[in-house]
Amino acid sequence: AQTVTQSQPEMSVQEAETVTLSCTYDTSESNYYLFWYKQPPSRQMILVIRQEAYKQQNATENRFSVNFQKAAKSFSLKISDSQLGDTAMYFCAFTVIQGAQKLVFGQGTRLTINP
């Protein structure tokens, strides 16, 4: 079975600080992608960052970067210089590149950025 686990239900930091959200996953597949999605109160699921499993280099998107440890099946998200607009639920997700490519999501981490 493919599973995604987020062990931090809630996190809170001050504006401009750096925060790291944790995620572990389990799969026996070799060709897969990992994602971090943001879901603000508007409910729209927004893709933050994507990592291809075959790439050793960690993905970065502006203030967002990941630490992908394939052997440990770990995929953490680092948000630098956090902003009030970063307040949201963050979901780690996984998909295998075959068939329907369904997304398997973790339970989510509620991140609050305080002014």
Cβ density class 63-77: b for 16+ within 10 Å, e for less: ebbbebeeeebebbb
- By CB under 8 A, tell whether 47 contacts other proteins: yes
Report the site for other proteins in 60-89 (rule: CB under 8 A).
Answer: none
Compute the Cα dihedral for 21, 105, 34, 38 and give only its sign: negative
By beta-carbon proximity to other proteins, the closer residue of 18 and 102 is 102
Identify the H or E element spanning 15.
none
Cβ at position 34, least distance to other proteins in Å:
11
- By CB under 8 A, tell whether 43 contacts other proteins: yes
Is 81 in a helix, a strand, or coil? Answer: coil
Residues that bind other proteins (CB under 8 A): 4, 33, 42-47, 50, 52, 91, 93, 95, 97, 99-108
